[in-house]
Chains A and B, each alone.
Chain A
Amino acid sequence: MLKIEKLVAGYGKVQVLHEITIEVPKGKLVTLIGSNGAGKTTTLRAISGMIEPSSGSITLNGTSIAGLPSHEITRLGLAHSPEGRRVFPTLSVTDNLLLGAFPRLTGKRPKGEVEKDMQRMFELFPRLQERREQLAGTLSGGEQQMLAMARALMLNPEVLLLDEPSMGLAPKLVEEVFATIARLKQASITMLLVEQFAAAALDVADFGYVLENGRLAGSGPAAQLKNDPAVRAAYLGAAH
C-alpha cells in the first residue's frame, strides 16, 4: 500500500530524516512514535508533499509519489490530517468537509456519494452535526480535531496520515480521539499515526516504528514494541 524507502528529507540545508524505511500495509494501522523533534511530523510532511524529499522513494499502490506537489498526491488517494489541525477558520464545518472531498467533487464521481459520506461523518462525529453551520474557527480544540479527521476521511482515502491527533486536548478528549481511531481501524482504513502518547498509540496499532533523531531505532508488531525494555524506558515512562 504505502511504502517509504530510505527517505531523506529536511528543511533547507538542515537534514532531519536519515534513510527512513516504513511500510504501511493495506487495512493496517501503523504508528510512528518518538520524542519531540525526532522527525515524526517531517516524515508525514515529506510523504504528503508538503516538503520535497531530497532522496529515497515513496510509493502509493506502486505509484511513485516522491517529489509530487501535495495536491497531486491527495488526488491519488492520500489524505493527511496535519499537525495543529489546520481547519479553514472562515469556512463552515460543512464547507470544510466538502473541501475534504474536493478531488471527488471536481472529478468524475457523482456528488450523491459525497453527501452520503458527509452523513457518515456526522454519525461518527455527532458534535460536528450540531455545529455544521458554524465557522470552523469558532469550534473548540477537540471539535476542530474531529473536523480535521473527518475532513481527511471525506477523501475516501487509500491511506490516512494522522499527525498528533491528541495534541493539546484534555484527557477525556484524548480518549475520545483514540476511540475514534480504533473505530476507523475496525472499518479497515489504512492509517499511519504519529503520536506523542506512545502507549496509547501502541495499544491501538498493528505495527510500530520508533524514530530517534531522524533515524529508525526499532520496529515491530505493536504488542512486541510495547514490551521491549528499551522502548518502555524511553517512551512509555516508568509507570507502565
Chain B
Amino acid sequence: MQNFLQILVSGISVGMIYGVIAFGYQLTFATSKTLNFGQGEALTLGALVGFSVVTALIGMGASPLLAYLLSLPLVLAFGLAQGSAVEWLGVRQAMKTKSEAGWIMSTIALGIIFKNMAENIWGKDPLKFPSPLPENPISLGGVNIRPMEIAIVLGALAMMLAVELFNRRSIYGKAVVATSNDRDAAGLMGINTSLVITFSYALSSLSAALAGVLVAPVTLTGAQMGAALGLKAFAVAIIGGLSSGLGVVVGGLILGITESLTGFYVDTGYKDVPGLILLLLVLSFKPAGLFGKTAIKKV
C-alpha cells in the first residue's frame, strides 16, 4: 500500500506536466484547428533559458529559490515570443493557402530547428538544473514527497486556472472563445482573429515553457528532454479530448499514474505501453477523447 501511494504521488506530478503541455495543444487547436508539433521543443527551450538565467543569478549571489522566481517572468516572456514566432513562420502561411497538412510539416521542421539550436547553445550533455526547493523529500503519512513535486502540481493548476479566468472574465478572453466558436463571425465583431491565433500560439508555448521549468529541477535538463514529453502530452490531448480543459488534467493523470504503476509492478521497459494502448482504445471507441464533445459535422 505504501509503495502504491508512493507511486501514485510521482505519477501525479508527471501527469500534471503532461497535462500542462497538452493544455497548450488545446489552446491552439481551439482557435485554429492546428497544433504545434514542436511543443516538446518549446518546453526544452523554456527549461534551458530558465537554466541559464537561474545559474547566472545564482552566480551573482542569489539563493536558488530567489533566482528561480526571478527567472519565471523571463521564461514565460520567452515562451510567448517563441510561440508567436512559430505561428508567424510556420502556421500563418499554411492557413492562408488553406493547406491541410502544411502546418504539420512546418511545425515539426521548426521543432527540429529549435532542438538543433538548443544543442548548439547548451550542448548535448544533460545539465543539472539547480533546485529552488529542498531536494529532500518530506514524509506525509509514510509517503515521501519532494517539495518540487508539490510545486509542479500547484504551478500547473495555477496556469490552467489563470487562462480559464482570463477566458471567462475579460473581454479579450471572450474574444478568444468567440474565435474558437466561429472565426468568421468573430471577425464581424471587430475581433482581429489572426492576432487571436498568434496569441493562442504564444500562450501555448508559454505553458510548455512553464512545464519545462517546473519539470527541470526533478529531471535532467537538456536539448533532448522535450521530445518524449511533447509526444506523450500529445497522447494525453487525444485521450482527454482536444476540446476539454478538464480532459487534459484527467488524461495527464491517467497516463502519469499508469506509467509509474507499470514501471514499478511490471517492468520499467514497458512503462510506456499501457498509455499507448489506452490511446489506441480511445481512438477506436471514442475518437473525440474521453471528455471531448463528439463533433457532428454539418453537411
Q: How far is the CB of A98 from chain B (nearest CB, A)?
A: 6
Q: How far is the CB of A84 from chain B (nearest CB, A)?
A: 9
User: Complex: how many Å from CA A82 to CA B185?
Assistant: 8
- A102:B191 contact, CB within 8 angstroms: yes
- A50:B188 contact, CB within 8 angstroms: yes
A residues less than 8 Å from B254 (CB atoms):
none
The verdict on B175 contacting chain A, using a C-beta distance below 8 Å, is yes
- A90:B181 contact, CB within 8 angstroms: yes
B residues less than 8 Å from A71 (CB atoms):
187-193
The verdict on A182 contacting chain B, using a C-beta distance below 8 Å, is no
Beyond A95-B177, A99-B189, 10 additional contacts (C-beta under 8 Å) are A50-B187, A71-B191, A71-B193, A82-B185, A86-B184, A88-B182, A91-B177, A91-B178, A102-B175, A103-B189
30 contacts between A and B (CB under 8 A): A69-B187, A70-B184, A70-B188, A71-B187, A74-B187, A74-B190, A75-B190, A79-B188, A82-B188, A86-B184, A87-B185, A89-B181, A90-B177, A90-B180, A91-B174, A91-B181, A98-B171, A98-B174, A99-B174, A99-B178, A99-B186, A100-B189, A102-B171, A102-B175, A102-B189, A102-B190, A102-B191, A103-B190, A105-B171, A106-B171
- B190:A155 contact, CB within 8 angstroms: yes
Q: How many A-B residue pairs have CB under 8 A?
A: 71
A residues apposed to B, CB below 8 Å: 48-50, 69-71, 74-75, 79-80, 82, 86-91, 95, 98-100, 102-103, 105-106, 151-152, 155
User: Complex: how many Å from CA A104 to CA B130?
Assistant: 48
Q: How far is the CB of B167 from chain A (nearest CB, A)?
A: 10
Interface centre among A50, A71, A89, A98 (most CB of B within 10 A): A71
B residues apposed to A, CB below 8 Å: 171-172, 174-175, 177-178, 180-182, 184-193
User: Complex: how many Å from CA A80 to CA B172?
Assistant: 21
A residues less than 8 Å from B192 (CB atoms):
69, 71
- B175:A88 contact, CB within 8 angstroms: no
User: Complex: how many Å from CA A128 to CA B81?
Assistant: 41
User: Complex: how many Å from CA A88 to CA B191?
Assistant: 13
Q: How far is the CB of B26 from chain A (nearest CB, A)?
A: 14
Interface centre among B180, B186, B188 (most CB of A within 10 A): B188
The residue of chain B having its C-beta at the shortest distance from the C-beta of A148 within the complex is: B185
User: Complex: how many Å from CA A80 to CA B185?
Assistant: 9
- B174:A80 contact, CB within 8 angstroms: no
A residues less than 8 Å from B186 (CB atoms):
88, 99
Nearest 4 A/B pairs, CB to CB: A74-B190, A103-B190, A86-B185, A70-B187
A residues less than 8 Å from B188 (CB atoms):
48, 50, 70-71, 74, 79-80, 82, 86, 152
